[in-house]
């Protein structure tokens, strides 16, 4: 999986060199190429934005800078994504779908956004990470790289992915580790039993209960068994 990230602030992506994502890149499971769009400015001062036509607050990223940066990494098989508050909200289904792509180009806007003409020319898929506004697309791009990379073969073991929140439209069951007793509270007895069938049953019951309590909207997409329907 190859990621080309078009940004005005490449230093922000140093965080992706840490932990699981950093190891995945070291092991050549993914490749993250950070492209500094300032390098494509034709201005001697590397100017990348200008005032908006029609007036208004803020600055708008210039179309030629964005387009030249895009063309430098474009390949016919690449899927282009513009991180934008106007896009559809990122969820686990979108993440899993994107993980099947070979090449993602991520466009990070900044300031008041990007000249609409280059957006129309590139025609990217627009994705948001929530109904709020950030100073730029860099943080959403990092969220997308992290979430998608976890589904690339070899980055995580398959069992970890299958049991995560949202994978089956359920939130994940609670986790416990040593010490066995903390502040007078003991780990649930079933987890100490070694009886894998009972453990799996308990975990599923907990996942359904937690989802019902915290995110009941997810249950409409989860197929409950007759027994689970009665318990629900």
Tens digits of residue pLDDT in 16-73? 999 999 999 999 999 999 999 999 999 999 999 999 999 999 999 999 999 999 999 9
Q: Where in the chain is the domain with CATH 3.40.1280.10?
A: 2-149
Of all residues in the chain, the percent with pLDDT exceeding 70 is 94
pTM of the model: 0.87
Reported as a single tens digit per residue, the pLDDT across 54-63 is 999 999 999 9
Among 105-109, 132-136, 162-166, top mean pLDDT goes to 105-109
Q: Is the pLDDT of residue 12 over 70?
A: yes
What is 2-149's CATH superfamily?
SPOUT methyltransferase, trefoil knot domain (3.40.1280.10)
Q: What sign has the CA pseudo-torsion 219, 221, 223, 226?
A: positive
Class level of CATH domain 168-231: mainly alpha
Cα–Cα distance for residue pair 64/159, rounded to 1 Å? 46
Cite the residue boundaries of each domain of the chain with CATH code 1.10.1270.20: 168-231
- Which residues pair with residue 7 across a beta bridge? 36
Structure tokens at 37: 């769009």
Query: Residue written as tokens 């025609």?
Result: 123
| DSSP track, 4-51 | EEEES-GGGGGGGGSHHHHHHHHTTS-EEEEEEGGGG--STT---EEP
The label of the residue with tokens 């800078």 reads 65
Buried b (16+ CB within 10 A) or exposed e, 86-110: ebeebeeebbbebbeeebbbbbbbb
């Amino acid at each position: 999986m190859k990621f080309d990230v078009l940004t005005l602030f490449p230093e922000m992506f140093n965080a992706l060199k840490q932990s699981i994502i950093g190891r995945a890149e070291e092991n050549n499971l993914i490749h993250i190429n950070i492209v500094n769009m300032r390098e494509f400015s034709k201005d001697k001062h590397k100017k990348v934005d200008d005032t908006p036509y029609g007036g208004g607050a803020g600055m708008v990223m210039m179309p030629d800078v964005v387009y030249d940066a895009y063309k430098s990494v474009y390949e016919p098989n690449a899927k282009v994504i513009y991180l934008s508050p106007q896009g559809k909200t990122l969820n686990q289904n979108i993440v899993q779908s994107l993980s099947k792509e070979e090449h993602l180009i991520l466009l990070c806007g900044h300031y008041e956004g990007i000249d609409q003409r280059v957006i129309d020319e590139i025609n990217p898929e627009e994705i948001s990470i929530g109904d709020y506004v950030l100073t730029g697309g860099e943080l959403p791009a990092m969220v997308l790289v992290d979430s998608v990379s976890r589904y690339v073969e070899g980055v995580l073991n398959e069992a970890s992915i299958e049991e995560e929140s949202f994978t089956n439209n359920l939130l994940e069951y609670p986790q416990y580790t040593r010490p066995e007793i903390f502040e007078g509270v003991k780990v649930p007895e079933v987890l100490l039993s070694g009886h894998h069938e009972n453990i799996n049953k308990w975990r599923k019951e907990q996942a359904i209960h937690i989802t019902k309590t915290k995110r009941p909207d997810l249950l409409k997409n989860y197929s409950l068994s007759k027994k689970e329907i009665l318990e629900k």
